[in-house]
Amino acid sequence: MGLAAMAARWVRNCAATVRGVAIRRQALQIGWTELPAVTAIGIGYYSLFFAGEVATWLSPGWMTRRFRI
């Protein structure tokens, strides 16, 4: 999988997070003032996921030696 596919997945995940939080705001009992923080947490999560995926793509041997999952 190439970098473009990883970036596309990151964009899709972030868009789904923004859309999902906005659509389910009332069901989740999130106030308007809390909406930016909740969205930032979701985007932050997917950004860390993307960074780990890129790091593994760039140097798979180093990542598997450092992070045993």
The predicted-structure confidence for 13-68, as pLDDT tens digits, reads as follows 999 999 999 999 989 898 889 999 999 999 999 999 999 999 989 988 888 888 77
**Are the beta carbons of 43 and 14 closer than 8 angstroms?**
yes
Q: How many residues does the chain have?
A: 69
Please list the alpha-helical segments (H only) found in the chain: 3-23, 35-58, 60-66
pTM of whole model > 0.85?
no
Six token digits for residue 14: 């972030």
Please report the pLDDT score of residue 13 as a whole number: 97
Six token digits for residue 30: 């999130």
The domain of 39 spans 3-66
How many domains are there within the chain? 1
Which single residue is written with the structure tokens 């009332």?
A: 26
Mean pLDDT of 4-10: 96
